[in-house]
Amino acid sequence: MEAYKLWVRKNREFVHSLESLANGMTWLLPERFSNSEIVPEAVYAFLGIVSAVNQHIIDRTPGKYQPSCSEERIPWSLCISMLKDLETVVEVAAEQFYGKEGKWNFLIIMEFLKALARLGSFRDSGYEMLIQGGEVLNLKKFAEVPEAQIGGLRNPGMSAGQLHYLNGQIPPSLEGRAMAALNRFGDKARMVSDYKFLNNYNPAVVLKKPSLGTVLSQKGLFGMSFVAGEVISILRPLIYVLLIRKHGTLAWKPWFLSLATELTGFSLLLYGTSHGARTGDKLYSLSTPEKDEMKRRKLIWALYIMRDPFFTKHTKHRLEKTDKYLSQFPIIGFLAGKITELLVGAQTRYTYTSGS
């Protein structure tokens, strides 16, 4: 195992490229969207888990900054990535053996486990915003540590704002997945962050993370609003699948209540971060990656046009009309047909349009 870790760390760029190629090839597997075909999704999930583990190995390269809360146990970010990769396999297998109605019980379990992992990550981070749904470490507190305490960590000319880009790296398991953009709409292209300047990190510097009581007492109403908004955002997918199991996929109630829950959580986050400028430290100050995360969450709202009943009643007809019109043109028509086929096929899977 140690030899494999060493090889991954020495050949990280080659590993990322190989993972991207393999993930892209899974979309060429036959019967990708067939309810009776589990193998393609199992291969896809396996590759995703391998990618997440490889990224974890790279992130734990000796000399890199490691959060004090993740010394020996598996980090929350890796747990969340693995659960997201497994969820599609669970959905396909459950639908094959238990039917379209029975699969929702298993999806509820998966969303419950993801919610627990995200809540754990939110708590262990000191109640900082989750980046990419918890798959990327938020190093905001680390970037705020004074330079004198870090022992010359910052390079000359490097601003605090540049340090905020530490957590801008998207897990490599997301790269190269053509249709995974539906599930993670708005994610940026993977940035290869340079961690070399972290080699001088002094392990003696321990960043004390505030408790919930400390956050609420220091930030007051703004802290309460921020925490409530983030918790609502974490629980929204679980609420959505519970409503779908009760009312069905073609009912408007789950669709509207999910959207309302999402808007409520986002509004609370905005209140906790955008108001109270006159109160100084009562305001949550967002780092650059956190601002990007807020933009990403707004872009994810576009997935609502891919969810039933909106998709069946509106989006699908528009896609078919566009496909029929573009079919008159040889090359463009062929590409449009393939894109329409992929979109319609992906829409049948909850995990591709859940935004979870």
Which of 23-37, 57-71, 125-139, 195-209 is the least confident region? 195-209
pTM of the complete model: 0.74
Q: Supply the range of the domain harboring residue 339.
A: 2-353
**Mean pLDDT score of the chain:** 76
Number of structural domains in the chain: 1
When pLDDT is cut at 50, 70 and 90, the band that residue 263 belongs to is very high
Question: Does an H or E element contain 242, and which?
Answer: helix 212-247
Task: Please name the residues in contact with 89: beta carbons below 8 A apart, sequence gap of 6 or more.
Answer: 38, 41, 42, 44, 45
Which of 118-132, 136-150, 180-194 is the least confident region? 180-194
**Is residue 296 within 8 Å of residue 133, measured between CB atoms?**
no
Q: Give percent above pLDDT 70 in the chain.
A: 67
Strand partners, 136: 131
When pLDDT is cut at 50, 70 and 90, the band that residue 178 belongs to is very low
Nearest to 39 by CA among 31, 51, 28, 48: 31
Cα 229 to Cα 225: distance, rounded to the nearest angstrom: 6
Cα 346 to Cα 39: distance, rounded to the nearest angstrom: 16
CB-CB neighbours of 199 under 10 Å: 12
Nearest to 33 by CA among 97, 87, 88: 88
The one-letter amino acid at 79: C
